Amino acid sequence: MQSRGATKAAMAKPRFLHLLSRAGRAAQAVADDGLADIGLTSAQAGALFVLPIDGAASVNEVAEILGLAQSATSVLVQRLEQAGFIEREPDPNDRRAVRLTLTSRGRTLRAKAIERAHRMNSAATRGFSADEQAVVARWLQHMIDLKEEGRE
């Protein structure tokens, strides 16, 4: 059994994964709240950000960039299509595949969501120097890279 002093010492160490998990949930909630009045979730906004303004992307490309499973991305794409934000077009190079494009409505909403994302990012980094922000960004990317390395 640990003494109270040992327990306090153990708890004083940063619990990075615990904090990251809580911060991830908080960030998702802040983003969802910040986008709710324009009718988007953070996941939907992320998909709109990935699609080029005047081009197309495949479901697989969207899934890879967002770090989502193909099945989750398919559901996300279906909801965006039903809402009239994207369209599916046949892939000229692969008859089995489709390409996703933004509709006019999707481009308008994407611009609004980008504006919101800039504001939310500014609020999230307020009070942190550029150097501190760079360290946080580097560590977050490191965590993503660790996950990617686990897939190989």
Q: What is the pLDDT of residues 2-60, one digit of tens each?
A: 556 555 655 567 788 999 999 999 999 999 999 999 999 999 999 999 999 989 999 99
The architecture in CATH of the region 18-151 reads: Orthogonal Bundle (1.10)
What is the mean pLDDT of the segment spanning 75-104?
94
Q: What pLDDT score was predicted for residue 95? A: 86
In the chain, domain spans = 18-151
Q: What pLDDT score was predicted for residue 149? A: 80
Q: At a CB cut-off of 8 Å and minimum separation 6, what does 2 contact?
A: 10
Distance between CA atoms of residues 52 and 145, nearest Å: 25
Which residues are paired to 90 by β-bridges? 98
Confidence of residue 128 (pLDDT cuts 50, 70, 90): very high
Q: Is residue 1 pLDDT above 90, yes or no?
A: no
Q: At a CB cut-off of 8 Å and minimum separation 6, what does 59 contact?
A: 70, 73, 74, 77, 98, 100
Q: What is the pLDDT of residues 130-152, one digit of tens each?
A: 999 999 999 999 999 998 787 65
Beta strands in 25-110 (DSSP E): 86-91, 94-102
| pTM for the whole structure | 0.81
Distance between CA atoms of residues 45 and 20, nearest Å: 22
Q: What pLDDT score was predicted for residue 140? A: 93
